[in-house]
């Protein structure tokens, strides 16, 4: 079930809200758990059992860790939990990839499993692992209630496409959270903003990005239009989902951490990854990079640690060599920045912004195309190394037709609008007027979005595939 669907907005969510808020406080987690399982079951009936298994695995293992803290038995319980979670992830996400590469390497003919990828498995396995690891490190208290832990694992606002919510972030709220009109109104507003980013901006940019695969009049300009449109699409698609997740979480009394912070205003790739998919970057930092030694090791081992983290970051996104290449490329550039580029980037603000945007757009070409041959052809076409014209009448037509959405997309990817609104709200009268108009703005946006959804085709979130 998609957040950006009529069935979710006008059927599931209202029923969930009514059921949740009429439930006595001590049973609210149970209501939320059952609703979350129903939400997942609507999209993945046969794989709902994986959620339940994951919950049971980490519930029992965390109990063993606490009971035998400081002993080898606790460490074995931790390793067992990690192995079980990673085994589920590997089987369902990477088995065919490994079989294909094994067949290629050893000239065998092993049959592929053709398993469907369970939606959100990359997110909820990372969440459950972080819980058990934090309990082992004594950084989080064990959850005594299986209902409480199940609510954390299956919590529908962030279940299928993040952000990756750490248990210790919402541990207190699982047991005792505040429900208020302020939380509810903020949550609704944040949800509508995220929904607008997805439906009104990301979907339109996605249509433009896909045109390159259907046109017969390819050109250098058209390839650049497609690449830039995709880079903006994936930002609005994923940050829009994160906004909706954060908004929905707030409605139910949970405070999820931010997952995006205007990454396209960055002046280095290092800064970009402090602003993009923050929850994933923090996960790999805390559970892979630092345990490997971080930067408190020799230079060679430091390089190794960075490349391992970025290999895993790329591989996390998908079972394909283009994702691995994409991750290693980022790792290599981050190393170059730390030792060579930063002293130049710090001195030249405009050049550093151009560098980040250009690199990110080109990197997303690698990220987007499954075949390395497609990646090479796309990049060669962008730089005029193929026998195609610089522009065509069709590329000019699409640039003009989507010009406004491009402008909105670029402007909206900066904090300028947010800063302008904050500045307006410093004036007391304007603040009151804006507060009065705000509900009507959200209602208007929701009506426009509804019209788009009724008239549009199925368009899932890009990160569902990861």
Question: Catalytic site residues?
Answer: 317
DSSP letter at 156?
G
Residue 140 phi/psi, 5° resolution? -145, 140
246's CB contacts (< 8 A; 6+ apart) are 157, 163, 190, 194, 256, 258, 259
SS3 category, 158: helix
CA distance 297 to 301: 6
Per-residue b/e over 169-195, b at no fewer than 16 CB within 10 Å?
A: bbbebbeebeeeeebbeebbbbbbbbb
399 and 212 Cβ atoms separated by less than 8 Å: no
The token pair that represents 422 in the structure block: 């904050």
What is the end-to-end Cα distance of the chain in Å, rounded? 16
Distance CA 194, CA 207 (A): 19
Tokens 């969440």 -> residue: 127
Report which DSSP code applies to 346.
T
* Bond from prior residue into 236 cis (ω within 30 degrees of 0): no
Contacts for 424 with CB less than 8 Å, ≥ 6 apart = 430, 431, 434
CA distances from 403 to 165, 364, 406, 408, 409 (A): 37, 21, 5, 9, 10
Q: Which of 97, 44, 127 is nearest to 464 (CA)?
A: 44
Name the E strands within 232-387. Answer: none
SS (H, E, C) 211-274: HHHCCCCCCHHHHHHHHHHHHHHHHHHHHHHHHHHHHHHHHCCCCCCCCCCCHHHCCCHHHHHH
Smallest Cα–Cα separation from 329: which of 365, 382, 297, 373? 365
For residues 266 and 281, what is the distance between their CA atoms, to the nearest angstrom?
A: 16
Nearest CA among 177, 129, 134 for reference residue 153: 129
């Amino acid at each position: 079930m998609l957040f950006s669907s009529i069935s979710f907005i006008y059927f599931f969510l209202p029923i969930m809200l009514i059921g949740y808020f009429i439930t006595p406080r001590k049973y609210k987690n149970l209501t939320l758990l059952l609703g979350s399982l129903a939400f997942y079951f609507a999209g993945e009936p046969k794989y709902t059992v994986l959620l339940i298994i994951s919950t049971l695995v980490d519930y029992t293992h965390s109990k063993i860790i606490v009971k035998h803290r400081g002993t080898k038995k606790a460490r074995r319980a931790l390793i067992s939990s990690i192995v079980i979670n990673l085994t589920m992830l590997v089987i369902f996400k990477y088995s065919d990839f490994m079989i294909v590469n094994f067949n290629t390497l050893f000239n065998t003919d092993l049959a592929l499993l053709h398993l469907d990828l369970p939606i959100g498995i990359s997110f909820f396995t990372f969440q459950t692992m972080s819980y058990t690891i934090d309990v082992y490190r004594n950084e989080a208290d064990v959850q005594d209630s299986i209902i409480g832990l199940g609510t954390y694992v299956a919590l529908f606002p962030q279940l299928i496409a993040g952000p990756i919510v750490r248990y210790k972030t919402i541990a207190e709220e699982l047991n005792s959270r505040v429900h208020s009109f302020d939380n509810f109104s903020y949550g609704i507003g944040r949800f509508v903003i995220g929904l607008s980013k997805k439906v009104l901006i990301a979907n339109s940019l996605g249509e433009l990005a896909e045109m390159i695969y259907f046109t017969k009049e390819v050109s250098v300009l058209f390839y650049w239009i497609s690449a830039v449109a995709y880079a903006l699409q994936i930002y609005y698609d994923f940050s829009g989902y994160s906004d909706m997740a954060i908004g929905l979480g707030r409605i139910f009394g949970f405070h999820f951490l931010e997952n995006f912070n205007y990454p396209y205003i960055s002046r280095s790739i290092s800064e970009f990854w402090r602003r993009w998919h923050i929850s994933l970057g923090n996960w790999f930092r805390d559970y892979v990079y630092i345990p490997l030694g971080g930067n408190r090791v020799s230079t060679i081992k430091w390089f190794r640690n960075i490349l391992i983290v970025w290999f895993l970051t790329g591989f996390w996104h998908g079972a394909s060599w283009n994702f691995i290449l994409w991750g290693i490329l980022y790792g290599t550039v981050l190393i170059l920045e730390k030792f060579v580029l930063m002293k130049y980037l710090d001195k030249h603000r405009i050049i550093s912004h151009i560098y980040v945007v250009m690199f990110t757009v080109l990197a997303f070409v690698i990220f987007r195309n499954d075949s390395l041959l497609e990646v090479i052809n796309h990049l060669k076409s962008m730089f005029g190394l193929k026998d195609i014209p610089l522009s065509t009448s069709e590329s000019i037509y699409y640039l003009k037709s989507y010009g406004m959405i491009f402008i909105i997309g670029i402007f909206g990817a900066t904090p300028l609008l947010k800063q302008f609104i904050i500045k307006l709200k410093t004036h007391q009268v304007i603040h009151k007027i804006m507060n009065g108009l705000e509900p009507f703005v959200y209602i208007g946006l929701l009506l426009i979005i509804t019209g788009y959804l009724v008239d549009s085709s199925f368009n899932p979130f890009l990160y569902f595939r990861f």
